[in-house]
Amino acid sequence: MNRRLPPLSALRAFEAAARYGSFKEAAAELAVTPTAVSHQIRSLEAHVDLALFERRTRQVVLTDAGARLYPVLRDGFDAFAEAIERLTRRRGRRHVTISATTAFTARWLVPRVNAFRALHPDIDLQLQASDQLVDLERAGVDIAIRYGAGPYPDFSVTPLFADRFAPVLNPMLRIAAVADGPRIDFEWRRRHPDNPTWSRWFAEAGLPEPAEPAQLRFSDESHAIQAAVAGQGIALVSLALVEAELAAGQLVQPFGPTISAFRHHLLVRKGDVSAEISAARDWLLAEASPASAGA
């Protein structure tokens, strides 16, 4: 749509003069001279071919045409101001960006976000979920949750909690032994002999590992958990990531042993100690403390 509008400067001058009933006061608001305001309004009147003001001594009064135009421009400029204020206010809000794996973000961080909002309603959380290595500085990440042995150079590192893995399943399956039921597996992004795999679980349980592989295999731990909740088999997963389902009885952990896994660590760039980052770090540590106590 091709809008045939007069210059914005002329519309601003008219709106201010109409609001004040004075070219002089309009000029003061717009940081121009009264002569400039008068010139802008005359150009607007020429554009619409109508008189918009009656010029009186030390006062200007809207004509009928001016009275029709003024509320339209007033409401429009008010809407502009409100929209720009909202954008500026949102950009100015404090925020913290937290990076973690897809499964950890979905299963551990997201359910806890409301608790952070209650504590810090003036700080926005931005969760960045990725299973790939992320350049934290380039990605603008303030806090990273990393699982593994490290090392993590150039970061201030705080242990969050040590993870434990165990077989879990929907209680409706009523399976007497792990070897009796369909097993669910997921792919570890990084191969390591200490990964809590099914082979390791059977070894620590002192049981022979079934010759057939797991019947269901996913690329992500979250999907393995969802499959277990849906009753599709037994999944060997992080107990920290299924604590809600265990508490609700959607999953049970009838088989031992639980096996140790790596520790989750909280990483912050050295020297990066803003108030909002400190608040988020303290919240994460407090949320992790029950898991730490049980580790």
- What is the rounded average pLDDT for all residues in the chain? 87
Q: Are residues 158 and 222 in the same domain?
A: no
Q: What is the mean pLDDT of residues 202-226?
A: 88
Segment 136-153, tens digit of pLDDT: 666 778 899 988 877 777
In the chain, the percentage of residues whose pLDDT exceeds 70 is 92
CA-closest candidate to residue 196, choices 227, 139, 241: 241
Q: In the predicted model, is pLDDT for residue 3 greater than 80?
A: no
Structure-token pair, residue 146: 């990393």
CATH, residue 196: 3.40.190.10
- C-alpha distance from residue 36 to each of 12, 29, 57, 167, 239 (Å): 12, 12, 18, 79, 72
Q: Are residues 216 and 248 in the same domain?
A: yes
CA-closest candidate to residue 210, choices 218, 197, 199, 224: 199
Q: Residue written as tokens 């909740």? A: 229
Number of domains in the chain: 3
d(CA 251, CA 232): 12
Q: Are residues 156 and 266 in the same domain?
A: yes
Q: Are residues 142 and 196 in the same domain?
A: no
Helix (H, G, I), strand (E, B) or coil at 130: coil
The pTM of the full predicted model, rounded to 2 decimals, is 0.63
Q: Are residues 20 and 99 in the same domain?
A: no
Which domain does 39 fall in, by range? 8-91
Q: What is the mean pLDDT of residues 34-47?
A: 93
Q: In the predicted model, is pLDDT for residue 196 greater than 60?
A: yes
Q: Are residues 99 and 151 in the same domain?
A: yes
Per-residue confidence (pLDDT) for residue 49, from 0 to 100: 93
pLDDT range class, residue 290, cuts 50, 70, 90: low
Segment 173-192, tens digit of pLDDT: 988 889 888 999 998 877 78
CB 190 within 8 A of CB 203: no
**Which comes out higher in pLDDT, residue 212 or 109?**
109
Q: What is the mean pLDDT of residues 17-43?
A: 92
1 located within any domain: no
Segment 80-116, tens digit of pLDDT: 887 787 666 555 567 888 999 888 999 999 999 999 9
